[in-house]
Every structure is written in structure tokens, then in C-alpha cells.
């Protein structure tokens, strides 16, 4: 948050997560809402939208990505992570109860939403026990 000039808004469905966010002291606004509803109600144009470990709770991403595209300023960036899925299937529900997305599925969902990936690469997202959880880091902009 040190390099951001202006408002930093956080949206989460969980009151507990909002309480944790509030304790960080970096947000100018926190809203308890479902992400798609919040995006559709918001009239702001954002220069950056970050969704780290958000899309693990979503299967199909097209509607959410389209709502995000509407909220991005013309020079805005969307940055997000997903857990990785191998193969041609767009997404699946893993044994962990979280969703995983494939590269093919991400590319299709981004294109459908009018977004173009500037970065789409494999990353080690975090450790779970002794295992490293593989995922994707995506940075996208509105398609030209």
C-alpha cells in the first residue's frame, strides 16, 4: 500500500476477514458484500484490482471477470492468483473444497470478459504442510 496514491477498497463476504483487513490499517473503505454484487453496484473506475486467493472460491470466472473489466480504468490492471489445474478442462473442484483453474480455462474466461493477459505464469502460491501449492499468477488489462 506504500506505492498506492488514493483509495484502497476491500470487499469480502466474511466479517472475520474484514476485521483482519481493518486491523492492517491500510484500507480507506471496507465493504461486506459478495464480489459480483459489489462490482456491479460500484461506479468507480479502479487503476488496480487485486484478487489474491479469491478465485479459489469460484468455478466459472466469466461473470466476475466481466464485472471487473467494467470497473477497470482504461489503463487499469487486474492481478489475481488461482490454484493450477492440468489439462483442457476450464476448472474443477479439488478435494480441498477449493476451485482450480487451467491455463486454457483462464485464457478463455479472460477473453470472454474482454481482458487480455499481460502475464500468465506458473507460481508457487504457498505451502500446505510440506507440499508447495502450484498456481497461476495473472496480470491482465482491458483488451485493446
Q: What is the pLDDT along the chain (144 residues), one digit of tens a residue?
A: 555 667 889 998 999 999 999 999 889 899 999 999 999 999 999 999 999 999 999 999 999 999 999 999 999 999 999 999 998 999 999 999 999 999 999 999 999 999 999 999 999 999 988 999 999 999 999 998
| Three-state SS at 87 | coil
Instruction: Please say whether the beta carbons of 45 and 89 come within 8 A.
Output: no
Residue 39 backbone class (left: φ over 0; alpha: ψ -120 to 50; beta: rest) = alpha
Which one, of 35, 28, 30, 26, lies nearest residue 16 by Cα?
Answer: 30
By the 10 Å C-beta count (0-12 exposed, 13-18 middle, 19+ buried), 40 is classed as middle
Amino acid at each position: 500500500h506504500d506505492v498506492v496514491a488514493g483509495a484502497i477498497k476491500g470487499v469480502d463476504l466474511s466479517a472475520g476477514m474484514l476485521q483482519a483487513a481493518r486491523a492492517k490499517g491500510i484500507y480507506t473503505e471496507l465493504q461486506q458484500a459478495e464480489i459480483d454484487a459489489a462490482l456491479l453496484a460500484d461506479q468507480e473506475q479502479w487503476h488496480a484490482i487485486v484478487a489474491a486467493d479469491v478465485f479459489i472460491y469460484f468455478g466459472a470466472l466469466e461473470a466476475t471477470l466481466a464485472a471487473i473489466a467494467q470497473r477497470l480504468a482504461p489503463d487499469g490492471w487486474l492481478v489475481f492468483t488461482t490454484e493450477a489445474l492440468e489439462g483442457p478442462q476450464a476448472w474443477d473442484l479439488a478435494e480441498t473444497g477449493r476451485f482450480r483453474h487451467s491455463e486454457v480455462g483462464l485464457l478463455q474466461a479472460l477473453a470472454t470478459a474482454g481482458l487480455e493477459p499481460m502475464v500468465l505464469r506458473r507460481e508457487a502460491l504457498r505451502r500446505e504442510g510440506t507440499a508447495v501449492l502450484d498456481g497461476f499468477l495473472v496480470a491482465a488489462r482491458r483488451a485493446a
